[in-house]
Amino acid sequence: MDWIPIAGWVCFAVVSLTAVAFVITSLRERRWRPAGVAFTLFCPALALSAAALLVDFPAKPWIILAVVLAVFIGVVVVLVPTGPIPRLQIPGDPQRIDERDAIFHRFYRLKPGSPEFDEYYREHPDKTAFDEKVRSQAPLGYPGSRTYHSTTSPFQSAASDVLDRITREVDWTPEPVEGAPVELTAAESTRRIKGFAHYLGAKMVGTTKLNPAHVYSHIGRSPGEWGEPIELDHTHAVAIGVEMSFDMVRHAPDSTTITETAFKYFEAAKIAMIIARYINLLGYEARAHVDGNYRVLCVPVAVDAGLGELGRLGVLMTPRFGPRVRLSVVTTNLPLVQDEPVAIGVQHFCEFCKKCATCCPSGAVDSGDKAVHNGVEKWQTHQERCYRFWRVQGTDCALCMRVCPYAHPTTSLHNMVRRTLPRSAIARRLALLADDLFYGRRPTGPSALPEWHAKG
């Protein structure tokens, strides 16, 4: 039984180091609540544990043994797989979606008095009253919203305006440098494109066959003749993801989030456009699909390409960044290797977490059970409620992104937790309990904005 005290001290050292690492990580992230909660909980517990290890009493070996076994069993339970991971279910036959049904089309393409405006509301009279009320609110980035500031709001407008100006024309044609298409195997073209995309700044890149159901049926917001049927016969797609800064998202729903969104859409567009042009120069068709100029639905393509899963809050949930990503896509007839979709535990975790729904200031995030929408079993976000709050607030909100337990920074401790979530249903339950304990069920008050973005 001489090994029992040694095991106790080893266990004590591991728990102590983990606690210290968590406090230091929280302080470095400037997140005072988890640091304070951890300090309050761990200090007395570790002090009592140290005293128990130092003082002799009759039941000491058995208590140490029980604690060591409990810690060991807890680690095993968290790490050992507990059965198949629930995956996104597609029980129906998804149909192509008309881009004119997307809410951004109504507020970014339709102009009062235009023939398109009159035709749309003649065919959709049920949307007229709501849309008129929203149009009475200040546009994003303009005076009249809660977060508007004369020197900080133009940050996002500058990025958005430049993005809009350089992404209007992306329907390029193949121009092989050597006069004829370069002959490539699917494996080589995939290796080249993924490596180039990462070099350009992509944090995530996946390739897949293009599902025709993920191509919009008619032009809405994007450039081109309004209402014209979309014909896109490309066979493959490259999904590109860029990380949104946690330090910017943490201030949601303040204006830092829309600054970050605009800039990261710019970054994603830059990568997609260069990749598409690269493929053109190899002699193959390619089109970049970027913010404001899509012909495809980026999230379903990214799911097919293995970048993540569709979560409750209606956006892509990724293994490393949770929902803190912005996407672009390149479609092409260049053969590519097909990546496999991933399952990271989101379908199960989102069932019971509901933080995004609880904290959503507009009640837009679905708080109920999944239902089948266009052939896919999923949670359906109420886009009108969401966008109405955007206009009142003057930002793209992102509070659901801020509170998501998958959205923590990519530090070592958070990454350790992330690695357990796909394996174990128990780990997912414990992760939410710990997240509620240390970070709170609802977001804490606003933290100080970055000095360059502060309203003062």
Say if CB 66 and CB 354 are below 8 A apart. no
Say if CB 317 and CB 323 are below 8 A apart. yes
| Residue 91, in any domain of the structure | no
Greatest extent of the chain over all pairs of C-alpha atoms, in Å: 89
Instruction: Provide the token pair at 49.
Output: 């544990």
> Do 307 and 168 belong together in one domain?
yes
Structural domains counted in the chain: 2
Say if CB 410 and CB 29 are below 8 A apart. no
> Do 40 and 153 belong together in one domain?
no
Q: Is this structure's pTM higher than 0.75? A: yes
pLDDT tens digit sequence for 270-305: 999 999 999 999 999 999 999 999 999 999 999 999
| Residue 92, in any domain of the structure | no
**97-111, 127-141, 159-173, 432-446: range with lowest mean pLDDT:** 432-446
Closest to 9 measured CA to CA, from 59, 67, 56: 67
> Do 24 and 172 belong together in one domain?
no
> Do 75 and 202 belong together in one domain?
no
Burial of 101: CB neighbours in 10 Å, binned 0-12, 13-18, 19+: middle
Question: How far, in Å, CA of 127 to CA of 116, rounded?
Answer: 15
| Residue 103, in any domain of the structure | yes
Average pLDDT over the chain reads 93
Enclosing domain of residue 241: 99-403
Question: How far, in Å, CA of 412 to CA of 236, rounded?
Answer: 35
Q: How would residue 85 be classed by pLDDT, with cut points 50, 70 and 90?
A: confident
Radius of gyration of the chain (CA): 25
Burial of 138: CB neighbours in 10 Å, binned 0-12, 13-18, 19+: middle
> Do 65 and 207 belong together in one domain?
no
Pairing of strands 371-373, 204-209: unpaired
Percent of the chain with pLDDT over 70: 99
Say if CB 167 and CB 290 are below 8 A apart. yes
Question: How far, in Å, CA of 434 to CA of 429, rounded?
Answer: 9
Q: How many CA atoms lie within 13 A of 439 on its CB side?
A: 22
| Residue 456, in any domain of the structure | no
> Do 32 and 126 belong together in one domain?
no
pLDDT at 4: 76
> Do 428 and 444 belong together in one domain?
yes
pLDDT tens digit sequence for 344-395: 999 999 999 999 999 999 999 999 999 999 999 999 999 999 999 999 999 9
Range 83-111 average pLDDT: 93
Length of the chain: 456
pLDDT at 161: 95
Range 220-232 average pLDDT: 96
> Do 205 and 123 belong together in one domain?
yes
| Residue 238, in any domain of the structure | yes
